[in-house]
Amino acid sequence: MENEAVTNPAEEVATSDTPTPEVTEAPDQEFLGDDDADESAAETNAEDFIDLEKDGKTYKVPKAVEDLLMFQKDYTQKTQTLAEQRREFEAQRQAMQWEAETKEALFNEKAQLQTVRQRLEQFQGVNWAALAQQDLQQHAVLQAEYTQLRDYHDRLSGHVEGREAELASYREQSTQTALTKAVEHLSKPKPDLGWDGKFDADRRSALTKFGLQLGFTNEELSNTSHPLMIQTLNLAKIGYEALKKQTSTLKQQPQANPVPQVAAGKSRSGTADPDKLPVDQWVKWRERQIAKNRA
């Protein structure tokens, strides 16, 4: 049959003379594994981070925000310092207001106390027994007034003593606080003012003695607690001692004697060449020589 002579197209393709391409194996190549790649990336990223410690814990933060963090830290410190200065200023304002009000009240109470004392002194000349015999009603009125004034005087005296004690305690506390701050400030050297950063009892005693020599009073020196005033007094002491030492050195130096001047037309004292003298001076010289030889 004709159909049997027909060949299979697939077999023709398989048996065709077209060469089959050979598959060659690629040579062995080393590639970075996933673990090595992750490790390399981690090392690269670690350089872009810094350690930030907060509340006892350490955090990794991008290095790019380091400047921002430093700015925030500086801003926070300045804000806290400003808030502390404001609180200190407010406390000082309130303390000064309290002191002014207390002094005013004390002044008024002392004035009232003086008036009451003057009125009580007027009762010292009253003869109470004679007044009772003469006018019993007037005696009762004056006796009541005297008793009220005496009681008021005692209460007012207690108020005055209490306010004076409060003011004394406030001044002592303020002085101690000022001295504490002054000592803290004076512990820092300031070479431009000749201050070495030492402020102890000996230094304070020396400055007090020097201040008294300048004319200050003990009260003025005891109330001086401002660091700049203390440093200025110390600088004045340094200058005073340097000036005193310089003056003493100048006094010890020998004074140069003035060079004697020879008047014109007169011979100089001392040995001179007679041959060079004028005739009249040579004659005088010769006469002195003869008189000297005779003597």
Query: In the prediction, which pLDDT does 253 show?
Result: 67
Query: In the prediction, which pLDDT does 3 show?
Result: 45
Domain that holds residue 119: 57-186
Average pLDDT over residues 24-29: 47
Average pLDDT over residues 177-181: 80
Query: In the prediction, which pLDDT does 23 show?
Result: 46
Distance between CA atoms of residues 127 and 117, nearest Å? 19
Sign (positive or negative) of CA dihedral 199, 200, 204, 206: negative
Residues 64 and 162 in one domain: yes
Residue 90 CA, distance from chain mean position: 20
Residues 104 and 157 in one domain: yes
Asked if the structure places residue 293 within a domain, the reply is no
Q: End of a domain among 186, 211, 233? A: 186
Residues 73 and 170 in one domain: yes
Asked if the structure places residue 17 within a domain, the reply is no
Please give the residue that has the higher pLDDT: either 33 or 48: 48
The pLDDT tens digits of the residues spanning 229-239 come to 888 889 999 99
Residues 225 and 160 in one domain: no
Q: 64: which residues sit within 8 A by CB, 6+ positions away?
A: 48
Residues 142 and 170 in one domain: yes
- The domain that contains 161 carries what CATH number? 1.10.287
Residue 30 has pLDDT above 50, yes or no: no
Residue 160 has pLDDT above 90, yes or no: yes
The count of structural domains within the chain is 2
Residues 131 and 174 in one domain: yes
Q: How confident is the model at residue 255 (pLDDT cuts 50, 70, 90)?
A: low
Q: End of a domain among 170, 186, 202? A: 186
Q: End of a domain among 186, 205, 227? A: 186
Please give the residue that has the higher pLDDT: either 121 or 259: 121
Asked if the structure places residue 45 within a domain, the reply is no
Residues 152 and 229 in one domain: no
Closest CA to 294 of 248, 143, 286: 286
Residues 61 and 182 in one domain: yes
Distance between CA atoms of residues 197 and 187, nearest Å? 4
Please, are residues 163 and 206 in contact by the beta-carbon 8 Å criterion? no
Distance between CA atoms of residues 120 and 153, nearest Å? 9
Asked if the structure places residue 161 within a domain, the reply is yes
Tokens of 63: 């290095």
Residues 66 and 111 in one domain: yes
Asked if the structure places residue 165 within a domain, the reply is yes
Residues 176 and 100 in one domain: yes
Asked if the structure places residue 112 within a domain, the reply is yes
Residue 100 has pLDDT above 70, yes or no: yes
Residues 165 and 63 in one domain: yes
Asked if the structure places residue 52 within a domain, the reply is no
Query: In the prediction, which pLDDT does 126 show?
Result: 87
Asked if the structure places residue 295 within a domain, the reply is no
Residues 178 and 97 in one domain: yes
